[in-house]
Structure 1
Amino acid sequence: MTKTKTAFVAKNLLIGSGTQAIFLILSFINRTVFIYFLGKEYLGLDALFTNILMVLSFAELGIGNAIIFSLYKSIIDRNEARIKAIMALYAKAYCIIGLTVFTVGLLVIPFLDLFIKNPPNIPENIPLLYFLFLLNTTISYLFSYKKAIFSADQKEYIINVSQQVFYLIQSAVQLMYLYSTHDYIGFVIIQVLSTFGLNVFLAIYANKKYNFLKGKTTEKLEKAEVKSIFQNVKALAMYKFGSIIMNGTDNIIIGAFLGLGVVGIYSNYLLIIAAVVTVLSRALNSITGSIGHLNNADNDAKKEQVFKQLFFIVAWIYFLFSIILFNVINPFITLWLGESFVLGTGTVLAIIASFYVNGMQFPGYTYRTTMGLFRQGRYVPIVMAALNIILSIIFATHFGLTGVIVATIISRLVTTTLIDPYLVYHLGFKKRVDGYFAMYLGYASITVIAFVASIPVMNWIYKGTWLTLILGVATLFILLNIVYFAIFYRKAECQAIIERLKRLVLQSFS
């Protein structure tokens, strides 16, 4: 990467991680107050509606990734007319998507009872609550296409900062309102208004920063290019469908087979995992724009070299966080909410395994999308989605919540975990993929060994108090980093990362 790319990565990384740390703190404060004033039933309802609307977001079809990919070359070439034409196409597509999601969402209302095994005993009108969630989702499509240009132009930090400022205001207003009224409907309405405000702000800021976006579009994309974009969209629709089924149907199946109470308890674990994933994603996604520029400009050898460095970083991150999360999550929830909100060790192990498997896909996924490998392997997510639904229903009846999570792990492992890196190596690097899987197994083996060794260490330190929990986290963090660094210090990827950090420090002081 060039000096400019490195600087962009560093800026996006620092700001993305910092803003998400704030988001993490606010999320836990918000959830704590939410549970205290409203309880598990509202928590389960909140999680269920979120998942139903995640499924409806299939209408987005992955257009965002296709548009961002098509913007990379135009931004590198500084072709403003073409950028504006692509953005105009994106705007029309998102208008249609928003209307589609809203219409289909309304059609779901008569069937809401099918998703709730034991209807909650709450005074609010459930269809009205669902409508507000639907409205919030629909609003997000109005101006969100403008965010694409920030991502493609390596300025992800603008989105991060804007989102966190609005979330800070939203959380403060929601908490004050909930404390004063205990009213859930007003709580959701505040969220809707915040979503609208964020999207309007980003649209205005994009027009100000990229003046050429304002006014009518004079240049039109060639038919061949529009056809290529929509061919990518068709392929991405399948990936989008698979992703939604993997991430959006678990709570629906749990709610239907096991009840909203289980959904509510599980959602606290998901909140913690999602908070960590979001922090990590903000940090790692800061690299995506630069990877996109790299894959549209440099040779295959350079691409593979950077890929291995990215995989090394991701493996380190998920080695560290998977082990710490397993040792910390139950003690944390016990101290935070009480033992009645705690899941069994086997279920927690499945949650962490799913977190690890999902996270380790990041390098393959990122390279596949930034290389424009959308159409190849497009049927794999459909197989993954179908397998997940079948296994989740079967396992839910026999193994409960743990079975649903294990079904997701299996479905992911036998599909995208195998195919994404194959496509990247075979079509991107023009090489065999064997080396990738050997690399994956090597990192995973070290993680398993360290995981087993960490348990007695944490048990020895943690004594049921916040102080010993914090001490345990700090001890594991230090020891695990020392172990990982000692094992891989001489590895080429580790040395390359050290050199990049040295150059970045020198650039900062030059």
Structure 2
Amino acid sequence: MKRTELALKNILWGMIEKGIMILCPFAIRTIIIYNLGNEYLGLSSLFSSILQVLSLAELGFGDAIVFGMYKPIAEHDNKKVGILLNTFRRIYQLLGVIILTVGLVVMPFIKKLINGEYPSNINVYILYIIYLSNTVVSYFLFAYKESLIKANQRNDINSKIYITCNLGMYILQIIVLLFLKNYYYYALLLPICTIVINIYRSIVVDRQYPDIKCEGSLSHKDLYDLGKCVVGLTINKISQVFRNSFDSIIISSFIGLVCLAQYQNYYYIVSALTIIMNVIMTAVGAGIGNGIASESKQKNYMNYKELLFEYGSIASIFVACMFCLMQDFITFWVGKENQLQFSSVILCSIYFFSMRLGDVTAIYRQSAGLWWEDRLRPVIEAIVNLTLNILLVKHLGVNGVILSTIISIIVINIPWATYVLFKYYFKISAGEVFAKMMGYSLKAILCCAVAFAVCKNIHISSLLGTIFLKGMIAWMASIGVLFICNFKNPEAHKFINRIKIIVRR
């Protein structure tokens, strides 16, 4: 129950944090579109994607260190935790130098990644340096201390820090865009906020965990084990970067910045819902790691199936609402001229749900430390995704990019990742879970179909009112479908009973 209470606290503060991270950038994005133009959004998306690729070297270390901290924290071995923290600090400093160097090497080629026009009053190299500094600065400050917060299941601390600092940054950015209309000043606030967050978090961590001293060195055996985890995890994370970052780079290179900005408007909606869903995964992640370290495989398998049901049900409701509202919302937000075809809405909905379908397996696989066993999957997935991106974008445009990602997820990511989890951790057949995933997918399709059939003829004088009314109907319709479909589902009854216990406590 302690893990549940910590998870609920993390979810509460995580929802507040993500709400700010969704609404404020949404307001900023709207101001940029109407005051500056789509090209500015395209540049921002391109630079962010390039720097995500450059940060590939970092992706494995953070999660590996957090995973390594679970056991010593449970055993109150503060010395071992301090050694891991010190190791992380040294690694981050080295990575900062590597990413800065590679980033500067890439800089002369920036214009070659832009197809067509870009704002004439912008020096893309200066802007790129600002974005690069925002990426690099954390490595030389105290970003490594975040691992201590995550390993102790205290993401609520992180959320409070981000709420305070990011809210201040967003307000200043809105003021700059509205009154100064200077994109350089807007961008400069990003590294400034990153510096403030890292210093603030360092002070909080030192006060919260005064007994943890960042000192000492790992033994050769521990270094070998850590290195093995890092290699497997870094390779594993590559697929995520290829999936998210290369999509934007491909669109910019083959189609142009305006189309990239339009695609990013749709992707922003998908990302906003993903952020909300990820709050749940982040909140329960450390608890799952603790459960794997202290409970039987049978108990963890039962918890896995329950979480898969709960998460899949929430994703079904989200995707039904998105399917019914996305085009109306785009029209209300940025105008009908920035709409993509309805086929893009269908593909975005499939993309969102297929990604969420694999989240529970991913968090259990990570918590079990199966990165090395899963090292081949992301390589194959990344190659297939990138190849299909290049082939399909020429014939289908933006839809080709989305479709290539869906294929790589459904054909490679989900079945292969699930197989690894069940072969190396649960050590039983994954047939039951594959059947459940198929059932949850069919229920999600049914939710979308019923909700859309009810909503398609709803139009009132106010577009905002139409969106609100459709949203409520889609929400209720999808819940009704799930209630009917899961009336005798044992996971559903366990979910309801858990909610009753939580409410009573």
Letter in 2 for 1:79: D
Aligned partner of 1:11 in structure 2 is 9
Structure 2 unpaired stretches of 5+: none
Q: Distance in 1 between matches of 2:280 and 2:14?
A: 5
CA positional deviation for 1:324: 0.8
Which of residues 379, 384, 389 in structure 1 aligns to 2:381?
384
Which of residues 463, 475, 479 in structure 2 aligns to 1:465?
463
CA positional deviation for 1:291: 0.5
User: Contact 1:113/1:119 (CA < 8 Å) preserved in 2?
Assistant: no
User: Contact 1:13/1:284 (CA < 8 Å) preserved in 2?
Assistant: no
Residue 190 (str. 1) matches residue 189 (str. 2): yes
Residue 449 (str. 1) matches residue 446 (str. 2): yes
CA positional deviation for 1:74: 1.0
Residue 40 (str. 1) matches residue 47 (str. 2): no
CA positional deviation for 1:78: 1.2
Q: Distance in 2 between matches of 1:76 and 1:412?
A: 35
Aligned partner of 1:257 in structure 2 is 254
CA positional deviation for 1:82: 0.5
Aligned partner of 1:478 in structure 2 is 476
Letter in 2 for 1:381: P
* SS of equivalent residue, structure 1 residue 123: coil
User: Contact 1:17/1:280 (CA < 8 Å) preserved in 2?
Assistant: no
Which of residues 251, 268, 273 in structure 1 aligns to 2:270?
273
Q: Distance in 2 between matches of 1:98 and 1:282?
A: 27
Deviations 1:52-105 (A, max 9, x none): 111111111411111111011111111101100011111111111111111100
Q: Distance in 1 between matches of 2:418 and 2:377?
A: 13
What does 1:329-478 correspond to in 2, within 5 Å? 329-463=326-460, 465-478=463-476
What does 1:277-316 correspond to in 2, within 5 Å? 277-316=274-313
Structure 1 residues 53-62 or 436-445, which shifts more?
Answer: 53-62
Aligned partner of 2:19 in structure 1 is 21
Q: Distance in 1 between matches of 2:84 and 2:297?
A: 27
CA positional deviation for 1:481: 1.3
Q: Distance in 2 between matches of 1:363 and 1:121?
A: 42
What does 1:94-173 correspond to in 2, within 5 Å? 94-142=92-140, 143-173=142-172
Letter in 1 for 2:149: F
Structure 1 unpaired stretches of 5+: none
Aligned partner of 1:506 in structure 2 is 504
CA positional deviation for 1:427: 1.6
CA positional deviation for 1:190: 0.9
Matched pairs, number: 503
Instruction: Give the 3 Å change call, closer, same or farther, for CA 287–489 of structure 1 in structure 2.
Output: farther
What does 1:39-118 correspond to in 2, within 5 Å? 39-118=37-116
Instruction: Give the 3 Å change call, closer, same or farther, for CA 489–372 of structure 1 in structure 2.
Output: same
CA positional deviation for 1:171: 0.7
User: Contact 1:245/1:389 (CA < 8 Å) preserved in 2?
Assistant: yes
Q: Distance in 2 between matches of 1:493 and 1:505?
A: 18
CA RMSD, 1 decimal: 1.3
Q: Distance in 2 between matches of 1:363 and 1:122?
A: 46
Q: Distance in 2 between matches of 1:124 and 1:116?
A: 13
Q: Distance in 2 between matches of 1:61 and 1:487?
A: 39
Q: Distance in 2 between matches of 1:494 and 1:71?
A: 34
* SS of equivalent residue, structure 1 residue 461: coil
CA positional deviation for 1:480: 1.2
Q: Distance in 2 between matches of 1:449 and 1:316?
A: 12
Task: After the TM superposition, list the runs of 4 or more consecutive aligned residues in structure 1 that deviate by more than 6 angstroms.
Answer: none
Q: Distance in 2 between matches of 1:328 and 1:409?
A: 21
Instruction: Give the 3 Å change call, closer, same or farther, for CA 435–258 of structure 1 in structure 2.
Output: same
Q: Distance in 2 between matches of 1:207 and 1:119?
A: 49
Q: Distance in 2 between matches of 1:393 and 1:382?
A: 17
**TM-score, with structure 1 as normaliser:** 0.96
User: Contact 1:17/1:279 (CA < 8 Å) preserved in 2?
Assistant: yes
**TM-score, with structure 2 as normaliser:** 0.97
Structure 1 residues 92-101 or 365-374, which shifts more?
Answer: 92-101
Instruction: Give the 3 Å change call, closer, same or farther, for CA 332–80 of structure 1 in structure 2.
Output: same
